[in-house]
């Protein structure tokens, strides 16, 4: 099974949570679009079809890897690295 780079996955989850809060507060078409975009990316990255499933998969994947910084080289911001 392919797994997203843990740092990338953590960043996606954090971005989703931030945008969800922002959209709840502002409710603009721009905040909606950004939330939809990160939701889609999170689902694709975790191989799921719904945000709740994506968040659960991300949590499970992140629990299965060592803490941040102990996996070697860091990827560039926005870069997706898949590991086997």
How far is Cα 33 from Cα 48, in angstroms, rounded to an integer? 20
DSSP-assigned letter for residue 68: T
The CA-atom distances, in angstroms, between 27 and each of 15, 24, 40 are 16, 6, 18
Q: For residue 84, what pLDDT is reported?
A: 44
Angle at 39 (CA atoms; ends 52, 60), nearest 5 degrees = 45
The better pLDDT of the pair 68, 7 is held by: 7
pTM of the model: 0.75
What digits encode the pLDDT tens for the residues 44-72? Answer: 999 999 999 999 999 999 998 876 555 44
């Amino acid at each position: 099974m392919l797994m997203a780079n843990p740092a990338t996955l953590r960043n996606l989850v954090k971005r989703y949570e931030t945008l969800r809060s922002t959209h709840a507060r502002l409710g603009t078409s721009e905040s909606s679009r950004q939330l939809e975009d990160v939701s889609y990316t999170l689902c694709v990255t975790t191989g799921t079809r719904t945000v709740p499933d994506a968040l659960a998969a991300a949590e499970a994947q992140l629990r299965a890897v060592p803490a941040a910084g102990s996996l070697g080289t860091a990827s560039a911001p926005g870069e997706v690295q898949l590991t086997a």
